Chain A
């Protein structure tokens, strides 16, 4: 299995909703990442987990809450989002060593209304 699977593929939520994005990989990768990508912009790093511990939080607002329940799963909990949070949310994973390229999931396209 060489894939990173993200669900759902599309999500529309209101500003008062609570939702979660899910990411799963079975490649034995011990580093997992959340990125946000707006149209015609490069991906922006949000969070890095290494060995199931949060290693980097790029000053992301608390309305985004990551969780790494085990080495294969990564969640992103969403609450009280704003319309400007609408974007493509990409999960990625890699071996926890320097020099490894990421494998990206196909993303969740989020629209906040």
Chain B
């Protein structure tokens, strides 16, 4: 069983749409959670950390459900520039962060 599972998509949505991605993780000892964004042939970039109480950054909202071992990312008012692959990440470790990446969800925002 994979540590982190994501729907690979692609999600094809029109500009202005709201889109949600989900992610499940298998290790209940996972300590930290993140969403990264990766553009084609570029490095992953941190989009946002995910906190137990849920958190929002502009058009992006992240939620964590530890009981169900489930993370979500909601994007409101999608822009063309949101087109990318979104990687769900869970982390373990003490003096470092061992990241487990999901396979990524591809988002295509169309005009």
For the complex, give the distance between the alpha carbons of A8 and B103 in Å: 27
Contact check, B44 vs A31: say whether CB atoms are below 8 A apart.
no
Q: Using A41-B103, A42-B103 as known contacts, say yes or no to A98 and B44 having CB atoms under 8 A apart.
A: no
User: Does A97 interact with chain B (Cβ within 8 Å)?
Assistant: yes
Contact check, A51 vs B95: say whether CB atoms are below 8 A apart.
yes
CB distance from B101 to the nearest CB of A (A): 4
Report whether over half of chain B's contact residues are helix, strand or loop; otherwise say mixed: loop
A-B contact count (CB 8 A): 66
Contact check, A103 vs B98: say whether CB atoms are below 8 A apart.
no
Contact check, A43 vs B101: say whether CB atoms are below 8 A apart.
yes
Task: Give the number of residues in B that approach A within 8 Å (Cβ atoms).
Answer: 24
Residues of B within 8 Å of A73, CB to CB, are none
Residues of B within 8 Å of A51, CB to CB, are 95
Residues of B within 8 Å of A105, CB to CB, are 43
For the complex, give the distance between the alpha carbons of A106 and B95 in Å: 24
For the complex, give the distance between the alpha carbons of A72 and B80 in Å: 37
Contact check, B32 vs A99: say whether CB atoms are below 8 A apart.
yes
User: Does B22 interact with chain A (Cβ within 8 Å)?
Assistant: no
User: Does B93 interact with chain A (Cβ within 8 Å)?
Assistant: yes
> Could you say which of B31, B42, B43, B98 contacts A99, with CB atoms under 8 Å apart?
B31
Nearest CB in chain A to that of B104: its residue: A42
For the complex, give the distance between the alpha carbons of A105 and B43 in Å: 7
Residues of A near any B CB (own CB < 8 A): 30-31, 33, 41-43, 45, 48-51, 55-56, 88, 90, 94, 96-107
List 10 A-B pairs, Cβ < 8 Å.
A31-B97, A33-B99, A41-B103, A42-B87, A55-B96, A56-B98, A90-B44, A98-B31, A99-B49, A104-B44
